[in-house]
Amino acid sequence: MILRGTLSILSLGMAVAIGAGIYGCGSTASTVSPTSVPATTTISPTSVAAGGAAFTLTVNGSNFVAGSVVNFAGVARTTTFVGPAQLTAAIPAAAITTAGTAAVTVTNPAPGGGTSNAASFTIMATPVPAITTISPNSAAAGGVAFTLTVNGSNFGTGSVVRWNGSDRPTAFISVSQVSAQIPASDIAVAGTAAITVFNPAPGGGASNSFTFSITAPTIHTISPTGAATGGAAFTLTVNGSNFMAGSVVNFAGVTRNTTFVSAGQLTAAIPAAAITTAGTAAVTVTNPASGGGTSNAINFTIGLISPRFAYVANEGLFSNLSPTPGNVSMFTINAATGALTAIAPGTIAAGLHSGSLAVDPSGRFAYVANEDSFNVSMFTINAGTGALTALAPGTIAADPAAAGPTSVAVDPSGRFAYAANGGDGLAGFSGSVSIYAINATTGALTSIGTVAAGLFPNAVAVDPSGRFAYVANGDLFRGSGSISMYTINATTGALTSTGTIVTAGDGASSVAVHPSGKFAYVTHEFSDNVSMFTINVANGALTSIGTIATGITPTSVAVDPSGKFAYVANNGSNNVSVYTINATTGALTSLGTIAAGIAPRSVAVDPSGKFAYVANNGSNNVSIYTINAATGALTSIGTIAAGIGPRSVAITGIVQ
């Protein structure tokens, strides 16, 4: 019994010992090593602006583990384990609303573990915001609600866009961009609005101000500007800005049947009944409710259109040994017959090799391009006698880097002038266009720079809307001709190139734009033809519609004010080609030729469309013609002597 009990006790002890050994082995295998205390070395970023957006904080250090937690301002934040030396934490916007400092620590889990040293994070007072751009920066008066995007810096979630000092619903996009909802009521009336961004305290404040324009339609020019009392119905072209589909032209206070051409041009059908009485009719444009507003008024004169004065630029002798300066012959025009009578003293001096002459639309100023003296002569016109008086100083320089100016043109508004600089010398390789502003009181030109043209630019023309300019380049060494195309800045007159188009003829010598602004014509003195183009009224681009033959060496083309006829002076065959113009396509149809003097250099049609004048360079005179209003045919009524080598004719007109 004792032995059996002893064995039982021993057996039990062994079992317990063995069990303890087994359990001891199992307990040793599942033991977790204690974590170390983490250490923080750097954080990124180290600061943000109070009131900013949520961001990700990067913490660099050592002894980080998968369970490490970043504490920001004493609060555990959602943490991502990147590696034993880096963690990232999501810091919400609510944690940085108040300026001050926040301690950043890392806590490792038990067993062991603990919390690291603290890094200091700065929550800065809200900075003052700054605006760099806004989009859009304008809207039509009476338009619909829209979203305004404001670009700049120092924006935050609390930033607010203000319209004339009043808050608008604002969305935070980034520190460099916010947007605001602008209601239709804010743009109901034309004017301007101040755009600012305001950041809240602490710190903060209002940004710089940007101007938002609320635009109404604006008229720049109309064409024609007058009509004869009791005349026929006609199409009025209105050029300006901010026009819309649905805009209407008002003539003498009555809404007229209007066609939308582009944001810069409308046409209106004016019935004969609207011009039965002499006087003036106000022309305005009204935009529909979606664009709103009525434009400024331009007066249309109803009366008898009469030519007044004619001026002829004579080139003189341009021999290098003993050059004779050019001059300008001055004439009055008989309104009934078109005959010319010299104005005493007959001529007025210009520069060397005077080639091209232009008068401003008001008939108050005249300008002459002097090729060999590299400048433009400036004159005032006596409204009563037509006599020219040179300004003091009498000339202004053209482009010194190019050959002398061969052509000068004035835009329809009378505010800007352009001179094509090409000449006949090697400097013509660097052809250009000089740009001038015109003093409305004195007529003096002020240079506002130059713009590049093609090789040997021979002529410059501006379209009737005053939005586009074209330069005919002779391109003598290219075996062809080309047209340089430009847009015109309505405020400054500056030209911006829109490229070139190669013509289908050789040696582009002149360019004329149709009164409708829809077509253009270019003569080619070496291929004896005229290139015909349609004009994109939205951007001024030219599209070729073919060519038509002329006489020999065509040097000038002109279109009559009605837009029904075109005339070309043929320098080599001593005649003038006559064409009709297809009103729909712009295509020319030949009506034959009529004799001129020797070496006709240019042709001009007076503002009434009743007379044509041709400067005959070789016979030192001017041929005078009447125009058949129905067919466009010319009938010669004789010639009148001019100076030496007449090259161009310009005519003023009035409405009585």
Q: Give the per-residue pLDDT at 342.
A: 97
pLDDT number for residue 49: 79
* Residue 578 reports pLDDT greater than 60: yes
Distance CA 464, CA 117 (A): 78
Rounded to whole angstroms, the Cα distance separating 121 from 55 reads 13
Q: State the pLDDT at residue 30.
A: 45
> What distance in Å separates the CA atoms of residue 64 and residue 83, rounded to the nearest whole number?
7
The CA–CA distances, whole Å, from 563 to 199, 221, 346 equal 60, 17, 32
Identify the sign of the CA torsion 20, 24, 30, 32. positive
Evaluate if residue 3 carries a pLDDT over 50: no
Tally of CB atoms within 10 A around 529 = 21
Predicted confidence at residue 301, as pLDDT, reads 85
Asked if pLDDT for residue 281 goes beyond 70, the answer is: yes
- The per-residue pLDDT for 423 is 56
What residue ranges define each of the domains in the chain, with the CATH number in brackets? 39-124 (2.60.40.10), 130-215 (2.60.40.10), 218-302 (2.60.40.10), 305-655 (2.130.10.10)
β-strand partners of 375: 370, 397
**pLDDT at residue number 476:** 64
21-25, 148-152, 295-299: range with highest mean pLDDT: 148-152
Q: What does the DSSP assignment read for 377-395? A: EEEEE-TTT--EEEEEEEE
**Is 376:367 a contact under the CB 8 Å cutoff?**
yes
**SS3 call for 277:** coil
Question: Is the pLDDT assigned to residue 400 strictly greater than 90?
Answer: no
Collect all residues with Cβ–Cβ distance below 8 Å to 12 and sequence separation of at least 6: none
Task: Please tell me the predicted confidence (pLDDT) of residue 490.
Answer: 84
Using the predicted structure, report yes or no on whether residue 200 has a pLDDT greater than 70.
yes
Q: What percent of the chain has pLDDT over 90?
A: 66
**What is the phi-psi region of residue 607: left when phi exceeds 0, alpha when psi lies from -120 to 50, beta otherwise?**
alpha
Other Cβ atoms less than 10 A from the Cβ of 511: the count is 30
Q: Decide if pLDDT at 26 tops 50.
A: no
d(CA 37, CA 368): 91
Residue range 332-349: average pLDDT?
95
Rounded to whole angstroms, the Cα distance separating 520 from 518 reads 7
Asked if the model's pLDDT at residue 208 lies above 80, the reply is: yes
Residue 16, pLDDT above cutoff 70: no
On the question of a cis peptide bond just before residue 202, with omega within 30 degrees of 0, the verdict is yes
Q: Which residues make Cβ contacts (< 8 Å) with residue 364, sequence separation at least 6?
A: 380, 381, 383, 443
Between 342 and 124, the higher pLDDT residue: 342
Q: How many helices (H) and strands (E) in the chain?
A: 1, 57
Residue 59 above 60 pLDDT? yes
**CB count, 10 Å around CB of 142?**
20
Which element (helix H / strand E) includes 603? strand 600-605
| Residues 644-654 pLDDT 10s | 999 999 999 77
Comparing 31 with 490, the larger pLDDT belongs to 490
Mean pLDDT of 123-137: 91
Mean pLDDT over residues 599-611, rounded?
94
The phi, psi pair for 96, rounded to 5°, reads -130, 35
- DSSP letters of 536-561? -TTT--EEEEEEEE-SSSEEEEEE-T
Per the prediction, the chain carries an average pLDDT of 88
Residue 23 corresponds to which amino acid?
Y
pLDDT at 32 over 70: no
User: How many whole angstroms separate alpha carbon 317 and alpha carbon 171?
Assistant: 73
Gap between the Cα atoms of 139 and 141, Å rounded? 6
Q: In angstroms, rounded to a whole number, what is the distance separating the alpha carbons of residues 308 and 334?
A: 8
